[in-house]
Amino acid sequence: MTASTDFLAKLNPSQRAAVEHFCGPLLVVAGAGSGKTRALTFRIANLVLNHRVDPENILAVTFTNKAAKEMKERIEVLFAEQEAQAKHGKSLSALPEYEQTKLRSHVYKNVTKYLWIGTFHALCSRILRFDIEKYQHPDGYTWKKTFSIFDESDAQTLVKTIVTKDLNLDDKKFNPRSVRYAISNAKNQNFTPADLEKEQPNYRGRMIADVYRHYEKALAANNSLDFDDLIMIPVKLFQQNESVLGYWHNRFRHILVDEYQDTNRTQYDLIRLLTTNGEDMAKFNDWRNRSTFVVGDADQSIYSFRAADFTILMNFQDDFGDGLPDDDTRTMVKLEENYRSTSNILHVANYIIENNTERIEKVLRATRGEGETIFCYKADDEIHEADFVVGQIRSLEYQNPELKWGDFAILYRTNAQSRSFEEILTRYSVPYQVVGGLRFYDRREIKDVLAYLRAIANPDDTVSLKRVINVPRRGVGKGTLDKLDQATQTLGCPLWEILSDEGSVKTLAGRSSKGVLEFAGIIKKYRERLDNAKGSEIIQELLEDSGYIEALKAEGTEEADDRIGNVQELYNAVLQFEEENDDPSLLAFLANASLASDLDNMEEGNNRVSLMTLHSSKGLEFPVVFLVGLEQGLFPNFRSLEDPAATEEERRLCYVGITRAKERLFISYARERRLYGHREPASPSLFLGELPVDYVTTNSGLGMPQRMTTPIRDARSEREEAAKPGSGAHEFDWNAGDVVVHPSYGAGEVTHIFGAGNKICLAVKFPNQGRKIIDPKLTKLQRAE
């Protein structure tokens, strides 16, 4: 492969600066539609082609499988393009198809195969397949390479059993969902049960810590991990085992992280450990042949409820970078040129997000024409809102031959809002898809089959064994299960040990023993074949043997037919997986299945109107976007009304929605909405009052701007206030090094200043609380002179 720099010519100056960065840390602040995937992929190409970095030394982390897949594909094309130029002097697309395929497979064999590109979870599960047996849990629990990955519902079921059965707690007070949430949150901050207890020493905190302890024990007993463990265990392993960390630190010399604003504490720890080899951040400075390159946009941070913490991004300059102000820094690049939307749309987006205080100053610059104005529609109720939206879609589709159904998206805050749109779309036979509903892998029949496979692959996976021991019916009822359970408790052994012993089963299960033994026989039979047979063969015979398909056929309902079809699709997925992957083992497939999402199979070429939540829309773009339900309490959601930080997150969500639109943006709200069966009057969203009036056409004026109950004030009133003498102009006069006193954190030192003018934000380091980002307009800071 020849070194080449011509592909860099396609980049704008800031993209180019990001791409050409070689060693050391770099933060790329990438606005919506500014070509960040481009920067990431070109950078990887540049590392390999021009800096001769071995692809094995590159780790690229994303948050979704879709993003990982896209990155892989784009890199492959990029390399193939280079080779096409070098070998044939032509662009890739000008070559005959077989040449293109040949080039691409050549690139795969030599480059992309060796790159580690994937989600945090997928990459960590890969690391754990190597090293989990070296992990030492404080309570002596161990895991084997064959571990299962529990999904969210498995995890919650487990928590529920612990709360109600093991600890006998009131599940009203200790709602399994919120307890699971608390445990997840703890794990996402790399907290042990003891850490959690220390943080919340009250009764509830102690109880939750106790559930957490039991939960870990149960996971270990099942040789299973939950999603959070996939990240947390590598972190703990790295912290306790120098040689393991040393290996991966040495291996991943160039680390790239996409959507850095969405990282949580544990993920941050992982990146930091890999980068510094566990050395103290302040002492580490050996960036030879090494880089940590993160890309993100604080304005698109919308997952704080999943423990994402965008202050990690805001702090990058201080902990990895040179910490210099924006104009002098060599460790930050801003991508502000937007290639997606018309300038009108961008203006609205910029204008809205300016109301947020916690952000890195950034303005999206248009590269396209003005476009149409934004239209804001006030509807009588949710039915009329849907009528308006569908009417617009139909007439735009009819009038513009270039617009297809797939070019439209309806974005809403909550899933429940899809219904009225679906009804009207159906009435007019407009093809549509609801994105992000039930995951394929969450369907009952799929979970059943996967439970069989998991039980076969992982003998300790009692949860999976129990799920299918009586599916299809084998006459193994609750009574039998209870007896078996009791036996495992007394003996302290995994369920399988009892199931696999004929004598024990006969004693315990009585008249159900026939069914239990039949089941155990099936599992045993396939477990023996695990090493030699392919996953696809196992699945195929298993479906026959277990009578699973037969039982579905016997049902004879339409629903059962659907299920059979889905199981067939799962079989196809295994076949495809075996064809496409280097490691086609059943274990690898199971990991892949556990980590798959529904978004992964959202079809783009199917030409349907897309309906989805604003959260699901992140990373996508559509020529025409409808942002619906802009009502106070719905969007912003009522749970965020009291909390300024939460309201800012809702505003970011609004910003994400607006910046999905390429050509046309419609915003709508209803005067009255059916909510849980009752008609409720609705008032216009806070965000409507923040729209720039000159850029918006309405059918009845913009709603009255909402007053906030808490003192987040919009940028304009702040500007006025700042102009008044003595009203706080001096507040903006902060300097790094100032010592301040915070009402709850006490004294701290200002280490960094974000933003400018009235949107200033301070990073303050407190001796005990660590670093916090504080808006001096929201929190009264006293100066310690």
Partner DNA sequence: AGGGGCGAAATTTTT
Partner DNA sequence: TTTCGCCCCT
Distances (CA, A) of 510 to 449, 476, 477, 478: 27, 10, 12, 13
Catalytic position from the list 258, 445, 448, 460: 258
Name the catalytic one among 276, 300, 317, 392. Answer: 300
Residue 21 is a binding residue for DNA (CB under 7 A): no
Q: Which is nearer to DNA, 50 or 597 (CB)?
A: 597
- 764 near 783, Cβ under 8 Å? no
Burial group, residue 621, by CB count within 10 angstroms (0-12, 13-18, 19+):
middle
Residues 161-220 that bind DNA (CB under 7 A): 172
In the complex, the smallest distance separating the C-beta of residue 230 from DNA, rounded to whole angstroms, is 7
Closer Cβ to DNA, 100 or 597, answer by number = 597
Annotated binding residues for ATP: 30-37
Q: Determine which one of 660, 664, 673, 759 is catalytic.
A: 660
Q: Which of 12, 240, 373, 597 binds DNA (CB under 7 A)?
A: 597
Contact 773, 762 (CB under 8 A): yes
Judged by CB under 7 A, which stretch of 83-91, 140-148, 371-379, 634-642 contacts DNA?
634-642
- Output the CA–CA distances (angstroms, integers) from residue 738 to 343, 454, 741, 752, 781, in the order listed: 40, 57, 10, 10, 11
> Could you say which of 227, 260, 316, 669 contacts DNA (CB under 7 A)?
227
Residue 410: both structure tokens together: 């309806």
Closest CA to 539 of 508, 588, 574: 574
Helix (H) or strand (E) holding 338: strand 337-338
Tell me: does residue 470 bind DNA (CB under 7 A). yes
Min separation Cβ 432 and DNA, Å: 16
Residue 600: CB minimum distance to DNA, A: 6
Bond into 472 cis (ω within 30): yes
Asked about 365 being catalytic, the answer comes back as no
Tell which positions 484-523 bind DNA, by CB under 7 A.
Answer: 512
Q: Which of 265, 272, 467, 618 binds DNA (CB under 7 A)?
A: 618
Q: What is the DSSP letter of 631?
A: B
> Is 489 an annotated catalytic residue?
no
Give the residue, chosen from 74, 534, 615, 671, that forms a contact with DNA under the rule CB under 7 A: 615
Residue 706 sits in the site that holds DNA (CB under 7 A): no
Between 42 and 635, whose beta carbon lies closer to DNA?
635
> Quick one: 227 or 626, whose CB is closer to DNA?
227
Rule CB under 7 A: is residue 598 a binding residue for DNA? Answer: yes
In the range 654-683, which residues lie near DNA by CB under 7 A? Answer: 674, 676-677
383 lies in the site for DNA, by CB under 7 A: no
Q: Does 356 engage in binding with DNA (CB under 7 A)?
A: no
- Comparing CB distances to DNA, the nearer of 506 and 780 is 506
Residue 664, SS3? strand
Q: Is 259 a catalytic residue?
A: yes
User: Is 36 considered catalytic here?
Assistant: yes
Nearest to 669 by CA among 655, 660, 656, 682: 682
Sole binder of DNA in the list 610, 613, 668, 706 (CB under 7 A): 613
Report the C-alpha gap between 418 and 415 in whole angstroms.
6
- Secondary structure letter of residue 633 according to DSSP: B
- State both tokens at 313: 């991004």
Residue 55: strand, helix, or coil:
helix
Q: For the window 50-89, what string marks contact with DNA as x by the rule CB under 7 A? A: -------------xxxx-----------------------
Give the closest residue to 249 by CA, choosing from 234, 264, 265: 234
Which one from 259, 299, 382, 690 is the annotated catalytic residue? 259
Window contacting DNA (CB under 7 A); options: 323-331, 521-529, 596-604, 759-767: 596-604
Q: Which of 71, 476, 624, 773 binds DNA (CB under 7 A)?
A: 476
| Measured distance CA(14)–CA(335) in Å, rounded | 6
* 163 versus 366: smaller Cβ distance to DNA: 163
Q: List Cβ<8 Å contacts ≥24 apart for 751-758.
A: 751/318, 751/323, 752/315, 752/317, 752/318, 752/323, 753/325, 754/314, 754/359, 754/360, 754/361, 755/357, 755/359, 755/360, 755/361, 756/361, 757/732, 758/715, 758/718, 758/719, 758/722, 758/732
Q: Is 475 in the site for DNA (CB under 7 A)?
A: yes
The one segment of 278-286, 323-331, 475-483, 625-633 that binds DNA by CB under 7 A: 475-483
Packing angle, helices 502-509 and 513-529, rounded to 10:
150
DSSP 32: T
In the bound complex, what is the minimum distance in angstroms from residue 262's beta carbon to DNA? Answer: 3
In angstroms, rounded to a whole number, what is the distance separating the alpha carbons of residues 433 and 437?
10
Has 660 been annotated as catalytic? yes
Task: In angstroms, give the least distance from the CB of 326 to DNA.
Answer: 25
Minimum CB separation of residue 619 from DNA in Å reads 7
Q: Which is nearer to DNA, 121 or 662 (CB)?
A: 121
Choosing from 15, 34, 57, 119, the residue that interacts with DNA (CB under 7 A) is 119
Nearer to DNA, 52 or 678 (CB): 678
122 binds DNA (CB under 7 A): yes
CB 356 within 8 A of CB 644: no
Q: φ, ψ for residue 238 (rounded to 5)?
A: -60, -35
**Complex with DNA: residue 144 or 679, whichever CB lies closer:** 679
- Total site size for DNA, rule CB under 7 A: 51
Helix (H, G, I), strand (E, B) or coil at 230: helix
Tell me the closest approach of the beta carbon of residue 512 to DNA, in angstroms: 7
DSSP per residue, 490-520: HHT--HHHHHT-HHHHHHHHGGGHHHHHHHH
Active-site residue, 37 included = yes
Q: In the numeric block, which tokens belong to residue 474?
A: 């084998």
The correct pick among 275, 355, 356, 616 for binding DNA (CB under 7 A) is: 616
Judged by CB under 7 A, does residue 596 bind DNA? yes
Residue closer to DNA, measured from CB, 98 or 676: 676
β-pairing, 661-670 vs 374-379, is parallel
Question: Bridge partners of 760?
Answer: none
Give the torsion through C-alpha atoms of 190, 195, 199, 204, to 10 deg: 100
DSSP-derived secondary structure for 380-444 = SSHHHHHHHHHHHHHHHHHH-TT--GGGEEEEESSGGGHHHHHHHHHHTT--EEETTSS-GGGSH
- 121/236 with CB nearer DNA: 121
Q: Does 413 bind DNA (CB under 7 A)?
A: yes
What does the alpha-carbon distance between residue 723 and residue 328 come to, in Å, rounded to a whole number? 29
Q: Name the active-site residue from 20, 37, 318, 337.
A: 37
Structure tokens at 99: 């040449």
Using the rule CB under 7 A, give the single segment among 92-100, 368-376, 609-617, 714-722 that binds DNA. Answer: 609-617
Taking CB under 7 A as the binding criterion, the range among 91-99, 331-339, 467-475, 728-736 that sits at the site for DNA is 467-475
Active site residues: 36-37, 258-259, 300, 660
Residues that bind DNA in the complex, under the rule CB under 7 A:
63-66, 119, 121-122, 152, 160, 172, 227, 259, 262, 303, 305-306, 308, 413-416, 436, 439, 470, 473, 475-480, 512, 595-600, 612-613, 615-616, 618, 637, 639-640, 646, 650, 674, 676-677
